[in-house]
């Protein structure tokens, strides 16, 4: 009876979805917004959310575990740890590397972490939040990523790690930087939040570092509404990360599970009494960064569509790149040599001699309902949050300054149609011709 009622309800959910979303609405140039990013959700997604809610999956449990294992297989990692955001995944990655369990390898206050000046704060914030020192390097125009040479120049006797994001889905030269990290005995963390499905030298990004992270915010390749994932093929590090995510707990039982180790009341740890309940023994100074099964159910449903999402992003980017090729005054993006990006956005730099500035072209696009975004924070070292903080800058940050002044990006996410892309191309050509 219950199963049959559940099935009827879920059938009604699909009917409700079809009634609410009967099909694509006609695109009206200049009136229909062309978003820079957004979630693409279907009846399967709605049903997955409702099914998890019907089962009262309000905490992290079996659906979370299934999503973690499924995503780890998809992205070629041995372990995945679900978090409540991509930002939390970055914090979890770096915090895990401070564990006393790592002995002399662990990161300690004052150690340096090489990173990029032009990007999003959550790649850099965990460095400062753990008492470490960010070492900022510049990027290249065109790819908007740094180079192995710049990273190597930044390494000092105090450098212990490298933490860099793949910019807008375009891989940084990760094989060369991974080799550099190994040669110098450094941890490499790949912020892969914008680049799920990108490859470098035929290998998925997110598989080169000791840790990689992704985000499930609606702007990203897959969505849970909010959420993130930390991935690793290092079993010890993944186990430590799970402890840091779950309050720093020593116990590895899943929620609602008891005594998997069969020694719950037999251990003596720290200076606690012998036999103290292992479920309440804490070995790390951790957080609560967990997500829920309801969100994980949406993530699982979205994962089935990942190949189509990736192909749509690539197709939209190619159409823009070919349609805008040769347009004067604009520097168009280039894939990093050896890479096949799963693009997050289409980035454009207004050249200094263009005869117009970013506010001019951005205003023109926005007035015509074409949404734009800056390259996140631009040069982070210029923001109030980072002025006066411990840091080291290596070389010039001229390109990071230039993108702060002259760079923006437009969308390629799967909700954008070929017709919309043609309108964007025509609008940009119209603007440049008039200037």
Residue 206's pLDDT is what? 98
Q: Report residue 58 as tokens.
A: 């309000």
Q: At the topology level of CATH, where does 59-295 sit?
A: 3.40.640
Residue 1's pLDDT is what? 66
Residue 347's pLDDT is what? 98
Average pLDDT, the chain: 96
Residue 107 CB neighbour total at 10 angstroms = 22
Per residue in 83-122, pLDDT (tens digit) is 999 999 999 999 999 999 999 999 999 999 999 999 999 9
CA distances for 203 relative to 181, 341, 345, 409, angstroms? 18, 11, 21, 26
| Cβ-Cβ contacts under 8 Å for 123 (sequence gap 6 or more) | 90, 115, 116, 163, 164, 165, 191
Taking only Cα atoms into account, the Rg of the chain, rounded to an integer number of angstroms, comes to: 23
First to last CA, the chain: 69
Q: How far apart are CA 12 and CA 187, in angstroms?
A: 50
User: What are the residue ranges spanned by the domains of the chain?
Assistant: 59-295
State yes or no: is 220 an active-site residue.
yes
Residue 281's pLDDT is what? 95
pTM (2 decimals)?
0.96
Q: How far apart are CA 368 and CA 363, in angstroms?
A: 9
Return the closest-CA partner of residue 49 out of 18, 15, 14.
14
Residue 259's pLDDT is what? 81
Least confident of 27-41, 139-153, 257-271, 342-356: 257-271
Catalytic residue among 17, 100, 184, 220: 220
**Predicted confidence (pLDDT) at residue 258 exceeds the cutoff of 90:** no
Q: How far apart are CA 190 and CA 164, in angstroms?
A: 6
Helix (H) or strand (E) holding 128: helix 121-129
**Predicted confidence (pLDDT) at residue 74 exceeds the cutoff of 80:** yes
Report the share of the chain in percent with pLDDT over 90.
Answer: 94
Q: How far apart are CA 146 and CA 137, in angstroms?
A: 7
Return the closest-CA partner of residue 372 out of 140, 141, 139, 33.
33
């Amino acid at each position: 009876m219950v199963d049959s009622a559940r099935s009827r309800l879920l059938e009604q959910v699909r009917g409700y979805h079809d009634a609410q979303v009967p099909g694509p609405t006609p695109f009206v140039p200049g009136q229909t917004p062309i978003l820079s990013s957004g979630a693409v959700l279907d009846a399967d997604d709605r049903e997955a959310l409702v099914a998890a809610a019907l089962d009262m999956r309000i905490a992290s449990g079996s659906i979370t575990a299934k999503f973690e294992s499924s995503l780890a297989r998809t992205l070629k990692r041995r372990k995945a740890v679900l978090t409540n955001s991509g930002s939390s995944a970055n914090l979890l990655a770096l915090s895990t590397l401070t564990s006393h369990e790592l002995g002399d390898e662990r990161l300690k206050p004052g150690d340096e972490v090489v990173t990029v000046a032009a990007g999003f704060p959550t790649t850099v914030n965990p460095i400062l939040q753990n008492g470490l020192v960010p070492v900022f390097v510049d990027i290249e125009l065109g790819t908007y990523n740094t180079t192995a040479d710049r990273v190597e120049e930044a390494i000092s006797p105090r450098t212990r790690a490298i933490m860099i994001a793949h910019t807008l889905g375009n891989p940084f030269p990760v094989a060369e930087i991974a080799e550099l990290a190994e040669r110098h005995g450094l941890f490499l963390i790949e912020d892969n939040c914008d680049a799920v499905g990108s490859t470098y030298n035929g290998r998925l990004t997110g598989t080169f570092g000791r840790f990689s992270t992704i985000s499930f915010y609606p702007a990203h390749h897959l969505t849970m509404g909010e959420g993130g994932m930390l991935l690793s093929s290092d079993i010890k590090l993944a186990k430590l990360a799970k402890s840091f995510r779950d309050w720093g707990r020593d116990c590895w039982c899943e929620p609602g599970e008891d005594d998997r180790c069969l020694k719950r009341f037999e251990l003596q740890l720290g200076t606690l009494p012998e036999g103290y309940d292992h479920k309440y023994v804490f070995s790390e100074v951790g957080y609560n960064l967990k997500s829920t099964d309801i969100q994980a159910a949406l993530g699982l449903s979205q994962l089935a569509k990942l190949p189509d999402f990736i192909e749509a992003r690539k197709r939209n980017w190619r159409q823009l790149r070919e349609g805008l090729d040769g347009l004067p005054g604009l520097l168009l993006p280039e894939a990093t040599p050896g890479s096949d990006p799963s693009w997050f956005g289409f980035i454009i730099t207004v050249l200094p001699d263009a005869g117009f500035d970013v506010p001019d072209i951005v205003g023109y696009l926005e007035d015509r309902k074409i949404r734009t975004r800056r390259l996140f924070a631009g040069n982070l070292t210029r923001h109030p949050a980072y002025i006066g903080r411990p840091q080291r800058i290596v070389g010039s940050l001229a390109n990071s300054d230039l993108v702060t002044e002259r760079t923006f990006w437009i969308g390629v996410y799967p909700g954008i149609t070929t017709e919309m892309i043609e309108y964007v191309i025509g609008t940009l050509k119209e603007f440049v011709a008039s200037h």
